[in-house]
């Protein structure tokens, strides 16, 4: 797992993700950056559940990365104009269930803070795509030749032709969510049968694997792709920045919609 810490316009990866921690703390002579609102929102179109987390970034040297924003008014807005309010279930965390959407529909998320600050995001509902199969293959370039065999997941699905499709894989191994964003676009393979070995993850005999296959919108793909780019060791930016989402008025974060399918297997030689 990893967390993203938003500070002004600087993105910092923490929790021992790609940089090792240091014992010495180096404090730069920096002016405190202005605080920013962060809205992380997603709607699972398969089960109709929407989760929204609203926070405000703190200063550069604050012990915590963000402050929960309670008391906001959060609404989903259908293309028809009908509004569905979300319920606050804890400080800064809002939820609603039973949402029904149609692929191709434009959906908005509106957030109004107690201070009357308003933020709006919009996306287009993607179409659902389902796996045909989920298989295993022996890991190419086994990191431990002669040792315990390792395996790769090999999902297979038919990509719908004539439309832009984007996919994300979430992997849980033996109850632990694996880090990183594995995302795929069909721009070069539109309408073809896809078989994509997931080279990021290795599994051993007896491992329990939980795979969530998501058909995501273009907003989510762009957002996760930026995070992946920033995480690469070769990434260099003239000015550090946060991933760009789809909220207006300077808010960080994103609002995305996806369809989800879950498969589970136990790694064995028989698969």
In a shared domain, residues 46 and 175: no
pLDDT number for residue 251: 96
pLDDT number for residue 235: 54
In a shared domain, residues 109 and 86: yes
Q: What is the pLDDT of residues 20-35, one digit of tens each?
A: 333 444 333 444 567 8
Three-state SS annotation for the chain: CCCEEEECCEEEECCCCCCCCCCCCCCCCCCCCCCCEEEEEEEECCCCEEEEEEEEECCCCCCCCEEECCCCEEEEECCCCCEEECEEEECCEEEECCCCCCCCCEEEEEEECCCCCEEEEEEECCCCCCEEEEEEEECCCCCCCCCCCEEEEEEEEECCCCCCCEEEEEEEECCEECCCCEEEECCCCCCCEEECCCCCCCEECCCEEEEEEEEECHHHHHHHHHHHHHHCCCCCCCCCCCCCCCECCCCEEEEEEEEEEEEEEECCCCC
**Residue 168 reports pLDDT greater than 80:** yes
Task: Look at residue 81 and tell me if it is in a domain.
Answer: yes
In a shared domain, residues 139 and 163: yes
Task: Look at residue 137 and tell me if it is in a domain.
Answer: yes
Q: What is the pLDDT of residues 175-220, one digit of tens each?
A: 999 987 799 999 999 999 999 899 889 999 999 999 999 999 999 9
Task: Look at residue 271 and tell me if it is in a domain.
Answer: no
Please state the pTM of the whole predicted model. Answer: 0.82
Task: Give the list of residues 6+ apart from residue 223 with CB closer than 8 angstroms, or none.
Answer: 243, 244, 245, 254, 256
Task: Look at residue 108 and tell me if it is in a domain.
Answer: yes
In a shared domain, residues 176 and 145: yes
In a shared domain, residues 11 and 92: yes
Q: What is the pLDDT of residues 40-63, one digit of tens each?
A: 999 999 999 999 999 998 765 555
Domain housing 248: 4-127+217-259
In a shared domain, residues 116 and 62: yes
For residue 171, the domain's CATH number is 2.60.40
Q: What is the pLDDT of residues 131-156, one digit of tens each?
A: 999 999 886 555 555 667 889 999 99
In a shared domain, residues 231 and 249: yes
In a shared domain, residues 189 and 73: no
In the chain, the number of structural domains is: 2
pLDDT number for residue 24: 46
In a shared domain, residues 207 and 222: no
In a shared domain, residues 110 and 239: yes
In a shared domain, residues 147 and 224: no
């Amino acid at each position: 797992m990893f967390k993203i810490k938003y500070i002004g316009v600087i993105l910092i990866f923490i929790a021992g993700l790609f940089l090792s921690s240091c014992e010495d703390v180096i404090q730069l002579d920096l002016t405190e950056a202005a605080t920013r609102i962060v809205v992380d929102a997603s709607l699972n179109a398969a089960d109709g559940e929407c989760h929204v987390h609203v926070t405000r970034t703190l200063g550069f040297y604050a012990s915590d990365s963000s402050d929960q924003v309670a008391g906001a008014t959060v609404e989903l807005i259908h293309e028809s104009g009908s509004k569905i309010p979300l319920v606050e279930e804890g400080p800064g965390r809002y939820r609603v269930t039973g949402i029904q959407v149609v692929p191709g529909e434009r959906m908005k998320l509106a957030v109004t803070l107690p201070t009357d600050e308003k933020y709006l995001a919009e996306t287009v509902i993607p179409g659902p795509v389902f796996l045909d199969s989920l298989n295993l293959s022996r890991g190419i370039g086994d990191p431990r030749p002669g040792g315990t065999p390792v395996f790769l997941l090999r999902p297979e699905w038919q990509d719908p032709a004539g439309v832009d499709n984007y996919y994300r894989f979430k992997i849980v191994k033996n109850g632990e969510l694996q880090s990183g964003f594995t995302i795929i676009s069909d721009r070069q393979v539109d309408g073809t049968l896809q078989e994509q070995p997931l080279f990021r993850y290795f599994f051993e005999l007896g491992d329990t694997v939980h795979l969530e296959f998501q058909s995501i919108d273009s907003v989510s793909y762009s957002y996760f792709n930026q995070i992946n780019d920033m995480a690469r060791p070769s990434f260099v930016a003239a000015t550090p920045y946060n991933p760009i989402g789809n909220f207006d008025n300077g808010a960080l974060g994103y609002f995305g919609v996806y369809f989800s399918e879950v498969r589970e297997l136990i790694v064995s030689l028989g698969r």
